[in-house]
Amino acid sequence: MADAPKRTPLYDLHVELGGKMVDFAGWEMPVQYPMGIMGEHKQCREKAALFDVSHMGQVILMGENVGEKLEALCPQAFSTLKEGKARYGFFTNETGGIMDDLIVSNAGDHFFVVVNASMRHQDIPHMAKHLDGVDVTEIFDRALVAVQGPKAEDVVGALCPAARDLKFMETMVGEINGVECRISRLGYTGEDGYEISIAEDKAVEVARAFLADENCEPAGLGARDSLRLEAGLCLYGNDIDNDTSPIEASLIWAIQKRRREEGGFLGAERIQREISGGTARKLVGIRPEGRAPARQGVEVQSEDGNAIGVVTSGGFGPTAGGPVAMGYISTDQAEPGTKVNLMIRGKAQPAEIVSLPFVQQNYKR
């Protein structure tokens, strides 16, 4: 019999707030609240929304030269990551595919890593096996919440004034309602905001303090997905996976210059070859012309009927005002403005290749 889904420290609060709970990566999570996905999406774009992301894996890495050792597993420059800074990265495999994406923070006496819920069973043993002399400790006694949106600074800053001074991809330890939290200015919506790691027995108290602000409402997985899709942010398992290289996924920006040149990470041969020679396919934005959204798996055809790609994520973009999608297209057909057809329920629906993101990203630089 399958294991029952796990519950985050905020489970009872979700139920109290009317959250519709679903099984997501082995966790009971709210997909939406009474406001509905469209309302929660708008709330995050215009004010602030609170998301429970406690299902993510939180890991502490302790030891000598942790950043340097991580560089053997990731193509990012972690040895030069300054204290108080965070960086987006990914584990690559021996064939240059992406094993998972993650956020790495230099917390001073340790590195703090957040990995995807569905991949923690892989990522933590992977680090434990390869990071010689580093203690790899998954922490199970902390919740993780995200406060996202243009009013996020006011919501969090009212309770922790020092949080206002953080810039995008910076992290600190601060107090909220007398509770010590790790506060990082980042997120997965394209909006300004924070992710906050809290002792699990204080999580409800801190979440309620955020929700007491008139600008903050709870939001679920449904809005989180439409927000990240509009912002052109990849979802592991949909848009990136073990077979997809970071260059195909248009993630070259996340590989610092030194690492591109020196290599020294798993799969470097393929990735360096693709940096210099290009790829046969690439991740692009796709705008369907009608109202029908193109879901994952929809075939993309050229105007003359040849299969040239596939949709990896798609849905309705409330802020974009219509359906939006991401997918992999033959590089010779991937120029923005190229007209294509999406095969939705056996019918060709016109669409256009566009640049990502669909909406402007509003991070506090």
Q: Has residue 101 got a pLDDT over 80?
A: yes
| 130 and 17, same domain (yes or no) | yes
**Residue 364 maps to a domain:** no
pLDDT at 2: 65
Average pLDDT for 306-334: 98
| 330 and 220, same domain (yes or no) | no
| Whether the model pTM is above 0.85 | yes
Domain that holds residue 196: 1-279
**Residue 365 maps to a domain:** no
CATH code of residue 53: 3.30.1360.120
Of 247, 279, 311, which closes a domain? 279
**Residue 142 maps to a domain:** yes
Of 279, 309, 333, which closes a domain? 279
Task: Report which residue type is found at 319.
Answer: T
| Residue 224, φ and ψ in degrees, nearest 5 | -60, -40
Query: Which residues 6+ apart lie within 8 Å of 81 measured at CB?
Result: 67, 87, 104, 106
Higher pLDDT among residues 3 and 157, named by residue = 157
In angstroms, the CA 292 to CA 92 distance is: 35
Of 218, 253, 279, which closes a domain? 279
pLDDT per residue as tens digits for the range 305-315: 999 999 999 99
| 317 and 334, same domain (yes or no) | yes
Beta strands across the sheet bearing 27-32? 6-7, 27-32, 20-24
**Residue 244 maps to a domain:** yes
Give the closest residue to 220 by CA, choosing from 146, 294, 318, 322: 146
What total of structural domains would you count in the chain?
2
pLDDT at 4: 86
CATH code of residue 330: 2.40.30.110
**Residue 21 maps to a domain:** yes
| 35 and 135, same domain (yes or no) | yes
Average pLDDT for 30-41: 98
How far lies 112's CA from each of 84, 139, 171, 278, in Å?
11, 10, 10, 34
**Residue 361 maps to a domain:** no
